[in-house]
Amino acid sequence: MKQIFLDTETTGLDSAKDRIIEIGAVAFQDRNEVKGEAANWHHYIDPERSVSAEAVKIHGIKDAMLKGKPKFSQVADELLNFIRGHEVVMHNAEFDVGFLDRHLADCDRGPLIKHVAKITDSLQLARKLYPHSRHSLDALAHRFGLDLAKLRHTHGALIDAKLLATVYFLMTSGQTTLSLQTPIATDYAAGKSKTVFKLHRLSEDTAARKRHDEYLRVMHETTEVKPLAMDDKQTK
Protein backbone atom coordinates (compact mmCIF):
# COMPACT_ATOMS: atom_id res chain seq x y z
CA MET A 1 0.00 0.00 0.00
CA LYS A 2 1.31 3.42 -0.97
CA GLN A 3 0.81 6.71 0.82
CA ILE A 4 -0.69 9.34 -1.46
CA PHE A 5 -0.30 12.96 -0.33
CA LEU A 6 -3.09 15.00 -1.90
CA ASP A 7 -4.11 18.65 -2.03
CA THR A 8 -6.80 20.62 -3.82
CA GLU A 9 -7.34 24.25 -4.81
CA THR A 10 -10.88 25.57 -5.18
CA THR A 11 -12.97 28.52 -6.36
CA GLY A 12 -13.83 29.28 -2.74
CA LEU A 13 -14.31 27.74 0.70
CA ASP A 14 -17.90 26.46 0.50
CA SER A 15 -18.06 22.87 -0.77
CA ALA A 16 -21.82 23.23 -1.30
CA LYS A 17 -21.37 25.82 -4.07
CA ASP A 18 -17.67 26.16 -4.88
CA ARG A 19 -15.71 23.81 -7.12
CA ILE A 20 -12.28 22.21 -7.37
CA ILE A 21 -9.93 23.86 -9.87
CA GLU A 22 -6.70 21.94 -9.21
CA ILE A 23 -5.72 18.57 -7.73
CA GLY A 24 -2.18 17.47 -6.99
CA ALA A 25 -1.09 14.14 -5.54
CA VAL A 26 2.32 12.58 -4.95
CA ALA A 27 2.94 8.89 -4.17
CA PHE A 28 5.35 7.39 -1.64
CA GLN A 29 6.21 3.78 -0.87
CA ASP A 30 7.93 2.99 2.46
CA ARG A 31 8.64 6.72 2.94
CA ASN A 32 10.42 6.94 -0.44
CA GLU A 33 8.96 8.91 -3.33
CA VAL A 34 7.76 6.68 -6.15
CA LYS A 35 9.68 7.21 -9.38
CA GLY A 36 8.52 7.43 -12.98
CA GLU A 37 5.02 8.04 -14.30
CA ALA A 38 3.44 6.73 -11.09
CA ALA A 39 5.19 9.40 -9.00
CA ASN A 40 2.47 12.03 -9.09
CA TRP A 41 -0.88 13.05 -10.54
CA HIS A 42 -1.82 16.63 -11.35
CA HIS A 43 -4.63 18.39 -13.19
CA TYR A 44 -6.14 21.83 -13.54
CA ILE A 45 -9.93 21.56 -13.80
CA ASP A 46 -12.60 23.72 -15.39
CA PRO A 47 -15.01 24.54 -12.53
CA GLU A 48 -17.68 25.92 -14.88
CA ARG A 49 -17.91 29.03 -12.71
CA SER A 50 -15.73 31.97 -11.71
CA VAL A 51 -12.93 31.81 -9.17
CA SER A 52 -13.55 34.17 -6.23
CA ALA A 53 -11.19 37.10 -5.74
CA GLU A 54 -10.37 35.85 -2.25
CA ALA A 55 -9.33 32.45 -3.61
CA VAL A 56 -7.16 34.03 -6.31
CA LYS A 57 -5.22 35.85 -3.59
CA ILE A 58 -4.35 32.47 -2.06
CA HIS A 59 -3.45 30.32 -5.07
CA GLY A 60 -3.15 32.81 -7.94
CA ILE A 61 -5.29 30.75 -10.32
CA LYS A 62 -7.51 32.96 -12.47
CA ASP A 63 -10.44 32.09 -14.74
CA ALA A 64 -8.39 32.47 -17.92
CA MET A 65 -5.93 29.80 -16.73
CA LEU A 66 -8.75 27.25 -16.52
CA LYS A 67 -10.25 27.86 -19.95
CA GLY A 68 -10.16 24.64 -21.99
CA LYS A 69 -9.14 22.46 -19.05
CA PRO A 70 -11.07 19.20 -18.47
CA LYS A 71 -14.09 19.03 -16.22
CA PHE A 72 -13.84 16.93 -13.05
CA SER A 73 -16.01 14.18 -14.52
CA GLN A 74 -13.48 13.79 -17.34
CA VAL A 75 -10.56 13.09 -14.98
CA ALA A 76 -12.39 11.38 -12.10
CA ASP A 77 -11.57 7.82 -13.13
CA GLU A 78 -7.93 8.74 -13.78
CA LEU A 79 -7.67 10.20 -10.27
CA LEU A 80 -9.37 7.19 -8.69
CA ASN A 81 -7.03 4.82 -10.51
CA PHE A 82 -4.07 6.71 -9.03
CA ILE A 83 -5.26 6.57 -5.42
CA ARG A 84 -7.35 3.37 -5.37
CA GLY A 85 -6.48 0.96 -2.54
CA HIS A 86 -3.90 3.28 -0.96
CA GLU A 87 -3.74 5.53 2.10
CA VAL A 88 -4.51 9.16 1.24
CA VAL A 89 -2.99 11.86 3.48
CA MET A 90 -4.43 15.39 3.45
CA HIS A 91 -3.93 18.44 5.66
CA ASN A 92 -7.36 19.40 6.97
CA ALA A 93 -8.88 16.37 5.26
CA GLU A 94 -12.42 17.48 6.15
CA PHE A 95 -12.09 20.36 3.68
CA ASP A 96 -10.67 18.34 0.76
CA VAL A 97 -12.93 15.34 1.33
CA GLY A 98 -15.98 17.61 1.41
CA PHE A 99 -15.18 18.87 -2.08
CA LEU A 100 -14.06 15.53 -3.48
CA ASP A 101 -17.11 13.66 -2.16
CA ARG A 102 -19.47 16.17 -3.75
CA HIS A 103 -17.67 16.05 -7.09
CA LEU A 104 -17.52 12.24 -7.05
CA ALA A 105 -21.23 12.06 -6.21
CA ASP A 106 -22.01 14.35 -9.14
CA CYS A 107 -20.48 11.79 -11.52
CA ASP A 108 -21.85 8.71 -9.70
CA ARG A 109 -18.54 7.53 -8.26
CA GLY A 110 -19.55 7.45 -4.60
CA PRO A 111 -17.56 8.89 -1.64
CA LEU A 112 -13.78 8.97 -1.58
CA ILE A 113 -13.46 6.46 1.28
CA LYS A 114 -15.13 3.85 -0.94
CA HIS A 115 -12.07 3.85 -3.21
CA VAL A 116 -9.13 4.14 -0.80
CA ALA A 117 -7.73 2.03 2.03
CA LYS A 118 -7.54 4.88 4.53
CA ILE A 119 -7.84 8.65 4.86
CA THR A 120 -5.33 10.31 7.20
CA ASP A 121 -5.65 13.91 8.37
CA SER A 122 -2.20 15.34 9.09
CA LEU A 123 -3.84 18.37 10.72
CA GLN A 124 -5.33 16.17 13.45
CA LEU A 125 -1.94 14.51 13.96
CA ALA A 126 -0.25 17.92 14.29
CA ARG A 127 -2.83 19.05 16.85
CA LYS A 128 -2.12 15.97 18.93
CA LEU A 129 1.67 16.28 18.72
CA TYR A 130 1.88 20.07 19.16
CA PRO A 131 -1.24 21.12 21.11
CA HIS A 132 -0.05 24.63 21.91
CA SER A 133 1.30 25.59 18.48
CA ARG A 134 -0.10 26.73 15.14
CA HIS A 135 -0.96 23.85 12.82
CA SER A 136 -1.18 25.24 9.30
CA LEU A 137 1.09 23.61 6.74
CA ASP A 138 3.18 26.79 6.59
CA ALA A 139 3.51 26.92 10.39
CA LEU A 140 4.63 23.29 10.51
CA ALA A 141 7.13 23.89 7.72
CA HIS A 142 8.62 26.78 9.71
CA ARG A 143 8.70 24.57 12.81
CA PHE A 144 10.94 22.10 10.98
CA GLY A 145 13.15 24.80 9.49
CA LEU A 146 11.96 24.44 5.89
CA ASP A 147 12.58 27.44 3.64
CA LEU A 148 9.15 28.21 2.19
CA ALA A 149 10.50 31.08 0.11
CA LYS A 150 12.52 28.56 -1.90
CA LEU A 151 9.74 25.97 -2.02
CA ARG A 152 6.90 28.14 -3.32
CA HIS A 153 5.65 31.69 -3.84
CA THR A 154 1.91 30.87 -3.91
CA HIS A 155 -0.16 27.87 -2.97
CA GLY A 156 -0.46 25.15 -5.59
CA ALA A 157 -1.96 21.68 -5.26
CA LEU A 158 1.06 19.66 -6.39
CA ILE A 159 3.57 21.92 -4.63
CA ASP A 160 1.58 21.72 -1.39
CA ALA A 161 1.16 17.95 -1.71
CA LYS A 162 4.95 17.58 -1.89
CA LEU A 163 5.40 19.99 1.03
CA LEU A 164 2.84 18.01 3.01
CA ALA A 165 4.78 14.79 2.41
CA THR A 166 7.97 16.41 3.73
CA VAL A 167 6.23 17.78 6.83
CA TYR A 168 4.36 14.54 7.50
CA PHE A 169 7.52 12.42 7.41
CA LEU A 170 9.25 14.89 9.75
CA MET A 171 6.29 14.64 12.16
CA THR A 172 6.34 10.84 12.09
CA SER A 173 10.09 10.22 12.10
CA GLY A 174 10.35 9.56 15.84
CA GLN A 175 10.09 6.35 17.87
CA THR A 176 6.59 4.84 17.79
CA THR A 177 7.07 1.31 19.13
CA LEU A 178 9.47 -0.61 21.34
CA SER A 179 9.62 -4.38 21.01
CA LEU A 180 10.83 -6.06 24.21
CA GLN A 181 11.68 -9.16 22.18
CA THR A 182 14.76 -7.60 20.57
CA PRO A 183 18.12 -8.63 22.10
CA ILE A 184 19.12 -5.04 22.87
CA ALA A 185 15.83 -4.25 24.61
CA THR A 186 15.87 -7.53 26.54
CA ASP A 187 19.47 -7.04 27.71
CA TYR A 188 18.77 -3.41 28.64
CA ALA A 189 15.77 -4.43 30.75
CA ALA A 190 17.91 -7.06 32.53
CA GLY A 191 20.72 -4.60 33.18
CA LYS A 192 23.10 -6.48 30.86
CA SER A 193 23.10 -4.16 27.88
CA LYS A 194 26.41 -2.84 26.53
CA THR A 195 24.55 -0.15 24.63
CA VAL A 196 25.76 3.35 25.52
CA PHE A 197 23.15 6.11 25.51
CA LYS A 198 24.53 9.57 24.80
CA LEU A 199 23.07 12.21 27.12
CA HIS A 200 22.21 15.63 25.69
CA ARG A 201 21.51 18.19 28.41
CA LEU A 202 18.66 20.65 28.01
CA SER A 203 19.08 24.38 27.89
CA GLU A 204 18.47 26.20 31.18
CA ASP A 205 15.83 28.26 29.40
CA THR A 206 12.54 27.67 31.25
CA ALA A 207 10.33 28.03 28.16
CA ALA A 208 12.47 25.52 26.24
CA ARG A 209 12.22 23.02 29.09
CA LYS A 210 8.44 23.38 29.19
CA ARG A 211 8.19 22.75 25.43
CA HIS A 212 10.45 19.71 25.79
CA ASP A 213 8.39 18.30 28.67
CA GLU A 214 5.14 18.86 26.78
CA TYR A 215 6.53 17.12 23.68
CA LEU A 216 7.53 14.08 25.76
CA ARG A 217 4.12 13.99 27.46
CA VAL A 218 2.29 13.99 24.11
CA MET A 219 4.68 11.36 22.71
CA HIS A 220 3.97 9.16 25.71
CA GLU A 221 0.18 9.54 25.37
CA THR A 222 0.24 9.02 21.60
CA THR A 223 2.56 6.02 21.38
CA GLU A 224 2.10 4.50 24.88
CA VAL A 225 5.91 4.23 24.99
CA LYS A 226 7.61 6.11 27.81
CA PRO A 227 10.61 8.13 26.52
CA LEU A 228 13.86 7.41 28.35
CA ALA A 229 14.29 11.09 29.25
CA MET A 230 10.87 11.33 30.90
CA ASP A 231 10.64 11.28 34.67
CA ASP A 232 7.72 9.82 36.59
CA LYS A 233 6.16 13.12 37.60
CA GLN A 234 5.59 13.98 33.92
CA THR A 235 3.28 10.98 33.51
CA LYS A 236 0.91 12.05 36.28
Catalytic residues: 155
Q: Are 25 and 6 in contact (CB under 8 A)?
A: yes
- Cα 170 from chain centroid (whole Å): 10
Answer for the pair 149, 142: CB distance below 8 angstroms, yes or no. no
Distance between CA 212 and CA 232 in Å, rounded? 15
CB half-sphere exposure, 96, CA atoms < 13 A: 25
Helix axes 93-106, 72-83, angle to 10 degrees: 120
60: left (phi over 0), alpha (psi -120 to 50) or beta: left
Interatomic CA distance for residues 93 and 119, integer angstroms: 8
Q: Is residue 167 within 8 Å of residue 136, measured between CB atoms?
A: no
**Cβ proximity of 223 and 212 under 8 Å:** no
The answer to whether 188 and 234 have CB atoms below 8 angstroms apart is no
CA separation for the pair 157, 145 (Å, rounded):
21
